[in-house]
Structure 1
Amino acid sequence: MRHRSRLAVLALGLTAVTLLSGCGLSATTLSVFETEREAEDELPPLEDDSYGSVDVESSHYVGEYEGVSLWVTKGSDSPVCIVAITDPDDDWMVGCGGLPTRISGSGLTFEFRADDWPAPEGMTRVSDNVYAE
């Protein structure tokens, strides 16, 4: 009986890890990366190594929220990054991670989500994949 309990727990654990790691049954769609890049999609220059974890060639400008300009990129070691810039000289954030990716600073929070995911509660839609509060 003990052996079966351990196998059940192991099976549930593996299922949870698979679903949480994005290896579930459906493919994740990030439509923001499927459009052609334009001049506004270029990231502004920041301090050295600020874009170290960012694939700068994949950047896309997604809009502005309360004076903060927002870009999304693919990460060099993660699926997505959010770049939030108020002033390139001294007020900016870069955060990378899995889905969803959330960054916070200066009293604001930004979140990147897959196309088919519901909007996060209490957040304002900035673009197809990005929300703010």
Structure 2
Amino acid sequence: MTKRDAIFPASRQELYEINGYSAAIRSGDLLFVSGQVGSREDGSPEPDFEKQVQLAFDNLKAVLKAANSSFDDIVDITTFHTDPANQFEVVMAAKNKAFSEKPYPNWTAVGVSWLAGFDFEIKVIARIPQSN
């Protein structure tokens, strides 16, 4: 059996170790990124929702960068929302900023009742560009 090829952003590996999961797993030319939340450096939730969403996107960007990938390489997005109707406008603004050009990646939004103290989470599947 092949071992998992785990990817971690340099500054946050300890948080993943404490919680027992990898930030992302590389499989061939695909990258499967765990759900990213709007956590501060110590792992605690950012209380301001707009800032929490931006931090989630920033944390996602750091994981992608650690795998030599970027938002341009994302093919599938799943987002989780504790109050979709009231949060949608803020989330769409962040999403539209990150993905401003067509073709857009696939996107599935899911309403949930619990995210361990957070109100938004984003997970993605991305391709890893081949080196030239």
TM over 0.5: no
* TM interval, short-chain normalised: under 0.3
Considering only CA atoms, is the larger Rg found in Structure 1 or Structure 2?
A: 1
Where is the helix percentage greater, Structure 1 or Structure 2?
A: 2
Higher relative contact order (CA 8 A, sep 6+): 2
Where is the strand percentage greater, Structure 1 or Structure 2?
A: 1
State the TM-score, normalizing by the size of structure 1: 0.22
State the TM-score, normalizing by the size of structure 2: 0.22
